[in-house]
């Protein structure tokens, strides 16, 4: 299991190239992607910009407020299709807040207000007439603490498709989703048992199966392994790497090694503390993971990844 991940790290460049060549379809967002990515491409010198995966979500000057409190300031970054993008940074830097902007989970907090553009396939998710329910069916989410429903394993996976009015064979879909989440073999004989009978790591994989059962485009993961032991963590990381073939994954993590192991690109957030004690998060640096961890552009990033701060 570890071998595979290490191999992956060693061959990031090649793997990406292969994937990029495989992905030749051109959509409207490609155009936006390449133009928006020009400056970044120069900096990371990652070859021809045309070879990059298309941008699926583009954040433009995103600001988040809770009432008068300015939680996140001016975040702009592109998320590319079929890549794993990691958000790292110290506590309170707003990385989870930014993640929750991407599927409008912040709507659940009444005082939260999002300014700026979150463009998904070029459509502003905060535009008028956008139904957060539709957004969340396309942009799924896995949470920090495993949160299966107090229902059977089967019903957990079938929940999303059922409410979306899925017409196909539910049994097949449940099997397929559990299989993709690398859980099928462990639970195939106890689908009717409560999800709470599973271990923490299994529960989190069940939550991943539940999230991908609705066939989303993008899966957001908010510190998905922080409540798990190291073995379960590796399991989840390996799973993320496998899921990358089909899904765009954005992961928030406290664990820099984890970001280094699994992600293609990393965004480093930091927090400014004002005189009145207000803490505002901001994006410090965003580039390919290998670059960010070896030759970061900003001193602040280097201080953080070398453990001098945070």
Q: Is 107 left (phi over 0), alpha (psi -120 to 50) or beta?
A: alpha
Instruction: Indicate the residue among 99 and 283 with the shorter CB distance to other proteins.
Output: 99
Instruction: Indicate the residue among 205 and 210 with the shorter CB distance to other proteins.
Output: 210
Instruction: Indicate the residue among 28 and 109 with the shorter CB distance to other proteins.
Output: 109
Query: 159-176: string of b/e by CB count within 10 Å (b at 16+)?
Result: bbbeeeeeeeeeeebbbb
Instruction: Indicate the residue among 70 and 100 with the shorter CB distance to other proteins.
Output: 100
Residues engaged in binding other proteins (CB under 8 A): 103, 105, 108, 110, 132-134, 136-137, 140-141, 143, 145, 147-151, 159-160, 163-164, 194, 196, 207, 210-211, 214
What stretches of the chain show up as alpha helix (H) in DSSP?
2-10, 12-22, 28-44, 95-101, 132-138, 153-163, 170-180, 184-187, 200-212, 230-243, 256-262, 289-294, 299-305
Question: Do the Cβ atoms of 173 and 142 come closer than 8 Å?
Answer: no
Question: Shortest distance, CB of residue 106 to other proteins, whole angstroms?
Answer: 11
Instruction: Indicate the residue among 218 and 290 with the shorter CB distance to other proteins.
Output: 218
Question: Shortest distance, CB of residue 35 to other proteins, whole angstroms?
Answer: 31
Question: Shortest distance, CB of residue 110 to other proteins, whole angstroms?
Answer: 7
What tokens appear for 12 in the block?
Answer: 């990031």
Question: Shortest distance, CB of residue 201 to other proteins, whole angstroms?
Answer: 17
Question: Shortest distance, CB of residue 244 to other proteins, whole angstroms?
Answer: 20
């Amino acid at each position: 299991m570890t071998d595979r991940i290490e191999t992956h790290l060693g061959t990031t460049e090649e793997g990406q190239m292969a994937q990029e060549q495989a992905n030749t379809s051109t959509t409207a967002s490609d155009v936006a992607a390449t133009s928006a990515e020009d400056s970044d491409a120069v900096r990371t010198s990652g070859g021809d910009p045309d070879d990059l995966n298309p941008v699926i979500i583009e954040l433009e000057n995103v600001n988040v407020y809770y009432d008068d409190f300015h939680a996140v300031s001016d975040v702009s970054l592109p998320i590319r299709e079929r890549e794993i993008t990691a958000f790292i940074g110290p506590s309170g830097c707003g990385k989870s807040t930014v993640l929750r902007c991407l599927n409008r989970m912040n709507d659940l907090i009444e005082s939260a207000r999002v300014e700026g553009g979150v463009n998904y396939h070029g459509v502003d998710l905060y535009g008028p007439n956008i139904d957060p329910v539709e957004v969340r069916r396309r942009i799924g989410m896995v949470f920090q603490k495993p949160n299966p429903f107090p229902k059977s394993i089967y019903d957990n996976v079938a929940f999303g498709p059922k409410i979306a009015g899925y017409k196909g064979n539910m049994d097949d879909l449940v099997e397929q989703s559990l299989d993709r989440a690398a859980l099928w073999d462990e639970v195939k004989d106890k689908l009717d048992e409560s999800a709470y009978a599973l271990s923490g790591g299994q529960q989190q994989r069940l939550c991943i199966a539940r999230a991908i059962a609705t066939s989303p485009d993008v899966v957001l993961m908010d510190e998905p392994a922080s409540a798990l032991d190291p073995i379960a963590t590796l399991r989840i990381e390996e799973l993320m790497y496998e899921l990358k073939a089909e899904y765009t994954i954005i992961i928030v993590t406290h664990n820099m090694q984890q970001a280094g192991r699994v992600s293609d690109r990393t965004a480093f957030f930091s927090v400014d503390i004002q005189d009145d004690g207000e803490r505002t998060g901001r994006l410090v640096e965003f580039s390919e993971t290998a670059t960010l961890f070896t030759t970061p552009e900003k001193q602040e990033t280097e201080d953080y990844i070398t453990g001098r701060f945070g």
